[in-house]
Amino acid sequence: MGGYCERDADCHTKYQDIPGAACIDSRCQCIDPGSQICCAASEAAEPDCPPSCRPCKECAQGTAACEPDGGVDAGCKNDAECPGPPSRECGAGRCVEGVCTVEIHPGPIASQRQGDCQRAECTTAGELIMLEEPSDVHDDGEPCTYDSCSEGWPINMPLTEGLICPGAREGMCHKGACVACFDGDVTMNDCPNGLACDDVLCVPAHCVNNAFEPELGETARDCGFPCRPCIAGEACGSSADCESRICDGGRCAPATCEDGAQNGSETGIDCGAAPCPLCPAGQGCRTGVSCESGVCWAGMCREPSCTDGVMNAGEDGVDCGGGCAPCG
């Protein structure tokens, strides 16, 4: 017999294609009762010889169903001898009282990629398929985006410009991020307590007068705490004065991958964006491409696991091999 099936078409797929077979009693069997599923005698030496329905005289020597006793005495001895379902995630081959059977677990599998708007599940024929799952949205960790699914893909749509940041007492949404203000829109540039808006920061009024006033804390013209951070090359007194958060020899230093600070396009400290390395678990991220594990959730890289739907941590396949179950 061939593998399990629900309809005739299941006997002619990329997983099992048996010419002359049909789905009979939930198993692929030869339509001609005088034929058996076997390899041709001329192809018996090939490890992956294509099975087909043939008369026993054309089958390779040792074909169990063609033995005088129908192969009763040539049954299996253990599970390893028995083929499993088309997809390894959907079950396993079992040897039961000398007869190979296929154990299938239909429904969602344990290994799921969180936030990809899809659900991996097994059919009753043992094939792994992907279905849309609208509730499996990707949490990007940003309060100013609406996380949803669209046609099976995750979407993080920026909320309306100027909307009060959800869950916060102050701040407003601008391009999907929560900021203090935005000086490019007259409806969003008001700051409390007499402060002025400089880009997306609320700063003292002297920070936007185009003058250098060191007596008020500026380390260069209109920058340095409490004003906006200074760019690389401008004067500084401490790391708080610099956009890169690195003050070296009285000047703000450019961002590097070895400076011990999160700066430039990095999503974590010295990691997450080229040319820096990927981020370990616990560091910031925008998507899984920033993380060593390939898993980013709520703006943070996560530890790898055997059910995260990603090939990581020395696995030989997705969630198998390495420290996980064998890939089989």
Q: pLDDT tens, 143-163? A: 999 999 999 999 999 999 999
Q: Which stretch of DSSP H or E encloses residue 178?
A: strand 177-179
Structure tokens at 328: 């089989």
Return the beta strands (E) in 84-127 as ranges. 91-96, 99-104, 107-108, 118-122
CA dihedral 262, 268, 269, 273 (to 10 degrees): -80
| Residues 202 and 195: beta-carbon distance below 8 Å | yes
Q: What percent of the chain has pLDDT over 90?
A: 74
Tell me the pLDDT tens digit for each residue of 274-296: 999 999 999 999 999 999 999 99
CA 311 – CA 321 distance, rounded (Å): 10
**In which band, very low, low, confident or very high, does the pLDDT at 74 lie, cut at 50, 70 and 90?**
low
Structure tokens at 32: 């001609």
Tell me the pLDDT tens digit for each residue of 200-222: 999 999 999 999 999 999 999 99
**In which band, very low, low, confident or very high, does the pLDDT at 72 lie, cut at 50, 70 and 90?**
very low
* Residue located via tokens 């060593």: 292
**In which band, very low, low, confident or very high, does the pLDDT at 73 lie, cut at 50, 70 and 90?**
very low
**pLDDT of 61 strictly over 90:** no
CA 80 – CA 93 distance, rounded (Å): 7
Structure tokens at 48: 């992956």
Side chain identity at residue 146, one-letter code: Y
Q: In the predicted model, what is the mean pLDDT of residues 63-84? A: 73
Q: What is the pLDDT of residue 128?
A: 96
Q: In the predicted model, what is the mean pLDDT of residues 244-273? A: 97
The residue ranges of every structural domain in the chain are 8-74, 154-200, 204-254, 266-314
**pLDDT of 180 strictly over 70:** yes
Q: What is the pLDDT of residue 68?
A: 66
**In which band, very low, low, confident or very high, does the pLDDT at 16 lie, cut at 50, 70 and 90?**
confident
Rounded to two decimals, the pTM is 0.69
Mean pLDDT of the chain: 92
Q: What is the pLDDT of residue 71?
A: 44
CA 122 – CA 86 distance, rounded (Å): 10
Residue 278 vs residue 48, higher pLDDT: 278
Q: What is the pLDDT of residue 69?
A: 57
Structure tokens at 145: 């985006």
Q: What is the pLDDT of residue 292?
A: 98
